[in-house]
Structure formats: C-alpha cells, structure tokens
Amino acid sequence: ATTMLPSSICSMGQIPRISLHSYGMLPKQMSKGHPPMITRAVGGVEKGEVGGNVQSLQVMIITMLYDTAWVAMVPERSSSQAPCYPQCIEWILQNQHDDGSWGINSSSLSVNKDILLSTLACVVALKKWNAGSYHIRRGLNFVGRNFSVAMDVQNIAPVGFNITFSGLITLASGMGLQLPVWQTDIDEIFHLRKIELERDAGGTISARKAFMAYVAEGFGNLQDWDQVMAYQRKNGSLFNSPSTTAAAAIHSFNDRTLNYLDSLTNKFGGPVPAMYPQNIYSQLCTVDALERTGISQKFAREIRDILDTTYRSWLHNEEEVMLDIPTCAMAFRLLRTHGYDITSDEMAHFSEQSSFDDSIHEYLNDTKTLLELFKTSQIRFSCEDLVLENVGTWSAKLLKQQLLSNKLSTSAQSEVEYVLKFPLHSTLDRLEHRRNIEQFKVEGSKVLKSGYCGSHSNEEILALAVDYFHSSQSVYQQELKYFERWDNHAEIGFCSKNVEIVFYAVYNTYKQIGEKAVLKQNRSIMDQLVEDLVSSAKAMMVKADWTATMYIPATMEEYMSNAEVSVAFVSFVCPPLYFLGLKLSEEDVKSHEYTQLLNLTNVIGRLQNDSQTYRKEILAGKVNSVLLRALIDSGNTSPESIEAAKDMVNSDAESSMVEMRSLVFSEGGPIPRPCKDRFWEMCKIVFYFYREDDTYLTPKEMMSSARAVILNPLRLIPPASSPETLSS
C-alpha cells in the first residue's frame, strides 16, 4: 500500500533576535556577495553535492532528539541485550541541557511539548540500556517540573503528541521509572490520548490507517505491526521517519528497516533528523523562499542545479517526490515555471479530493499543502487540462471551508484569503516580494512528530531580501525624480501647441532609445520602433473614426483586429527588450513566437480593459468588446446581456492567459526567457490593474501599491516567542 505523506510541513517560522537596522531602516548601499550561510545553503550544489551531501542545503536538515532516541532503542540483530547503534546513546549522553532536558531548547523558546517529548524519549532510551543514571534522574525531574505543558491544549504540539507521549509514559512505567507527577496528571494525558483517537476515528479508513501507522511507536505491542509494514518504502523506511522505522525494527525485526537505519547512522553519525531523505523538499523550499522574496536572480546557477536534480527525480518517478503531496506539487510548479518539459499527467493521482482525504494531511488540517496544490493548479498550459482544473477546484473548496471554520491562525487565514483573491497571474512581483518579506518567518516550523524545524539560512535570506528591496527602492525613487522633472506640462490645457510638445517629446524619446539601442544590439532598431508607433497610431485613428461615425463592427473578429493594436502595448513593452543584455535580431522580432507574445499581450490588455470600462464607454458612444458581444449574442444591451457578455470576455482573457503562460514557460523558441518575461509581467499588470474596476477612475488602491514599492519602508514582523505554522 502507498500513502501520501509530507516530507515536512514546512512554513517559515518566526524571526529570531535580528536587528536589521531596527526593522526597516534604509541601508546606504547594497551588501556585496552572498551572506555566508546562504552561500553554504544553496552553494553546495556547485560542488555536485545536491542530494548527496547533508551540508548541501542547511534547510530542514536538523537533528531531532526524539527520533535519535528511538533509533537508540533498536537492539542488535543478534542480541536484544545490546544497542544496535551505541553512537546514538553516546550522543544523547553528551547533549543533555543544563536544565535536564533534551531537544531544541533555544533561549527564544519557552518549554514546549516537543522538548518534553524528546526528553522523555531520551530518558527511556538510556534506561533501556541502563546507561546514564544521573542523566535519567535529571531528565525525569525536568519532565516532572514541566508536566503541565503536556496537558496545555493551547500549547503547539507535534503531530500525534498525545499518542506518542502517552506511549513513552507506558514504556517508562514498564521499565520501572517513576515520573515525579501526580497520578491524576498522568490520567489526564491518557484522557487526551483517548480524545485524539476518537477525533481521528472521524476520518476515512485509509487516512486513519496511515495516521496510526505513522505514530505506531505510540501504541507499542498494541499495534498491528504487519499492517504497519504495508507502508514500507523502497528505501526500507516507513514514511521516511526514523522514529517510526526504528519502532518497526524493534517490533518486527525487518532487515530492510535495519538497512535504512544503518544508512542513516552511517551518514549522520550519532544524531538523526526527523525525516530522511528530504533533500529535495528542503532544497525546493529554499528555491521557493528565494523567489518569493525577490532575490532568486542572485542564485540562478544554484537554483538551476537544484531543479536539474529535481527533474531527474521526477523523470525517474522517485518516491521522495511522487509520494508526497507538497513535494510533488511544489516540484511541478517550480519545474514548469522554469521551463522543464513536464506534463500534468504525473499529477493525476492528486486530481481527486480523495487523494487528500485519504492522507495524513487531512488529519493535520494541512493548510500549507492545500495552498501549494491550489497555486500549482494555476500553472495550466491548456484550458483542457482537467487534472489541474480538478486540483484547483477541490483545493479551493477545502481552503474556503477552512476559512469558514474559523479555526485557522491569523497568519494562515490572511494567507488563504490572499491566495484565493489573487491568482498567480494577477499579482505584481515587487508587491509580492514586499508582502513576503514583511511576513517572512525564519525560526521554527512544525514538522510532524518532532516539533520544530527551522532553517539556518532563513535569517540570511531575510537580511539579503531586505537589503535588496531597500536598494531597489532607492533606484525607483531616483527614477521617480526623473519623471517628475520631465513632466512639466501637467497644468497646460489642450491646444495645438501641446500637440507640438507631444510630437517632439515622442520624437526625442524614440531618438534617444534608438541611439542607445545601437550600442546594445549593434544594429539600428529605428525602423521597428517607428513601425510599431505608426501601427498603434493608425489603430487609434480607426477607433476614433468608429466613435465619430457611430460605426459598430459586424463581428468580434473585426473589432479585435483593430482593438488589440490600439491598446498600444507595443510602444512600451517592446523597446525595453533591447536593453536586457540579450541580442534580438530582426529575424527574432519578426518570428512567430515574438508575434504570438505581442498579440496575446494586446488581446489580454484589450479584453481586461473593456471588461471594466464598458460603462464609461457606453456614455462616450464608444464601441467595446463587452457591448459588442452583448449585441451579437442577445441583440440588446440589457443588464443581463451585459453581465453574460462580460463573463464571456473575462473567460476569453483567462484563456489567452493560459496560452500566454504556456508560451512564456516553455523553452525552445528564438525569444530568450527574460524577454518573454517582460510580456508576461505586462499581462500580470493588466490583470492586477483591472481585476475589479477601472483603476484610472479609482486610483487610490493603485497609488497605495505604488507607494508600497517605491516609497514606504518595510514593516517586518517582530520576534515571537513560539513558532506558528499554516497547519492549524
């Protein structure tokens, strides 16, 4: 049997004690080079270490005492009287904290359930081999002093805590250990265990079996270990979890589980991580973080190496990618948006909601996985892609249900509302970067049974992102000054003199562009610039004639053949392409791919504009695609006909956006990706600008967005005392 389980429920934790110029002061200049930890975190791929060296990515490869303790409990193959992995015992003995605890015990974190769980597990492991009696006493005293934390339902808990913690209490009692706590408190823990088991009984049979197998160590001899072994993977592990696999090795004496644990301890030595392998997921999380904060261009080669490795795993259908919902979804999204040739067929096993309902994610109310699936569903290259359409439909439905439940954390609710409101093609990169930087959390994220798993590189990612964003703002502010100095005719009324002013402004601007482009392209582009400008002007004249003569085109084709040109995007999308550091030959500009990119951008711009300006254009006597479609389809412009026509126009724009996405994210054509990205960004601007209204008439929100990118300082979240995740 196979089941879909996460490599990690990875969301960015909280910001630790990091000043960053008092959270938002503008740096004088951009820092030079990568921060040291990021260089290690992402730069390991330079040495071919991706997937092979635990130091190749510092994200999520964090040792967990809970899992280490369970591996330490495994006996030798030939004798139950000696540990199979004495190095784990030794590591436990050497890593007890001064207060008697084991685990991630940062000064910024108060005692939590993960620390209690890890401490009791280490105590039981030492007692099993009669090692470290002093350590055992100190550990028991720590558990006794802080036992109330285990009963606090408001305290964030590792997955299945009430089952695994109560299971350790049973093991400890069977070994003769006496916890210094009241019996009523122990009874309360087992009452919480009963509540958790009853809650789990409400899920599907498949999901319940998967969850019970995942926390199998909490049941001991009460567990059906033959049933648990049905979840064993090719690498010998159960769910890539060292603790579950170690418990299976203890109870079933399975050679493949021992082989997995052998490879684990050979790789890491004494301590083990909470999940292994998880290289791909960890690396993808880092790539995603770099892209979300706007600094991925600084690590282009490293990101390409990571994605090359992920692509090979994808082609080989490896379990680490394909059996894990968030890993598979994130891999698909990142690979497809970076131009790798993959189809949605490999996502077919997630096309139905049952793939989520029958997995552990349903038990965890795993908002992050649903968000990842929903975002992935938007990377469609065809309107007929039913796999991704289905994924988007059911993931959106479940996200809306979570919103209505009022059980999400504040940050999770905000993220879900935002993602549902703004599809990926209607967000602006710099606004997204700002939002993600301001909400970036770097310390601790809940990871299944073993508490909190932070990223050593997240601090440096945040620092570099803040530095880069502020430096970008200083450039934008300087450019804004240039615009303000140039725009000195704002108060002059319309007259023939203004026509002359505009003519010379256009002439001189295009002349300067042409002269500078020669230096970049080693050829003149003036003919192309003039041709583009003239075609736009002619289309505008036709549109003006239609208005003056009250002419209505007979078909949508007649209207669009002129309207898509009159939107005039060619005048401000295309000239910058010559200054991207890439050669664009005359043949490239005349190519079918370039023509498609420009035509789709114009179509999307025209349709989105028309869908929000038709009221104004009715009053002005202008023709509009919404009005024209209503007349053609219904013969009138009643409110009902207008609404139906508007829906059709919006649908056409969405379909064109799907086609544009396929064109931009696919490789092989003559137009370089950076050039294609400029067309894509223009389309995103159009969707953002016209998503609800004609923002020329209601500019308040657009002005707020502009200020956020150009002027307003960042507002970073303050440090928090305990981790929070999107899994509520």
- Tens-digit pLDDT profile for residues 693-704: 776 667 788 889
Using an 8 Å Cβ cutoff, are 383 and 656 in contact? no
How many Å apart are CA 480 and CA 489, to the nearest integer? 16
CATH class of 526-710: mainly alpha
Using an 8 Å Cβ cutoff, are 143 and 186 in contact? no
- Name which of 218, 221, 216 is nearest 121 in CA terms: 218
- Judged by DSSP in three states, 269 sits in coil
Using an 8 Å Cβ cutoff, are 442 and 15 in contact? yes
Structure token pair of residue 438? 């301001």
Structure token pair of residue 77? 């193959």
- Judged by DSSP in three states, 232 sits in strand
Using an 8 Å Cβ cutoff, are 257 and 295 in contact? no
pLDDT of 60: 43
8-25 burial: b if 16+ Cβ within 10 Å, else e: bbbbbbbbbeeebeebee
How many Å apart are CA 628 and CA 622, to the nearest integer? 10
65-268 is classed CATH 1.10.260.40 = no
How many Å apart are CA 27 and CA 474, to the nearest integer? 10
Q: What residues does CATH 1.50.10.160 cover in the chain?
A: 65-268
Using an 8 Å Cβ cutoff, are 718 and 8 in contact? no
- Judged by DSSP in three states, 455 sits in strand
Q: Please, what is the end-to-end C-alpha distance for the chain in angstroms?
A: 28
pLDDT of 220: 92
pLDDT of 673: 95
Residue 455 backbone zone (phi > 0: left; psi -120 to 50: alpha; other: beta): beta
How many Å apart are CA 271 and CA 89, to the nearest integer? 9
How many Å apart are CA 308 and CA 317, to the nearest integer? 14
Distances, alpha carbon 716 to alpha carbons 21, 373, 440, 446, in Å:
11, 27, 8, 22
How many Å apart are CA 461 and CA 295, to the nearest integer? 8
DSSP string covering 673-709? HHHHHHHHHHHHHHHHHTSSS-TTTSTHHHHHHHHHH
Q: What residues does CATH 1.50.10.130 cover in the chain?
A: 20-60+277-468
Residue % of the chain over a pLDDT of 70: 83
Q: How many residues does the chain have?
A: 728
Residue 339 backbone zone (phi > 0: left; psi -120 to 50: alpha; other: beta): left
CA angle 297, 299, 302 (to 5 degrees): 135
Q: What residues does CATH 1.10.600.10 cover in the chain?
A: 526-710
- Cβ burial of 662 (10 Å; 0-12, 13-18, 19+) is middle
The CB density around residue 352, as the number of other CB atoms within 10 Å, is 14
pLDDT of 713: 93
Q: Which fold has domain 20-60+277-468?
A: Glycosyltransferase (1.50.10)
Partners of 452 in beta bridges: 446
Q: What is the 3-state secondary structure (H, E, C) of 603-626?
A: HHHHHHHHHHHHHHHHHHCCCCHH
Peptide bond into 277 cis (omega under 30): yes
pLDDT of 680: 97
- Name which of 419, 434, 305 is nearest 369 in CA terms: 419
Residues of the chain with pLDDT under 50: 1-60, 107, 363, 444, 446, 452, 454, 489-494, 721-728
pLDDT of 487: 60
Using an 8 Å Cβ cutoff, are 444 and 453 in contact? yes
Partners of 446 in beta bridges: 452
- Judged by DSSP in three states, 452 sits in strand
How many Å apart are CA 102 and CA 270, to the nearest integer? 14
**Distance from CA of residue 724 to its chain's centroid?**
16
The model's pLDDT over 95-106, given as tens digits with 9 standing for 90+, comes to 999 999 998 755
pLDDT of 41: 38
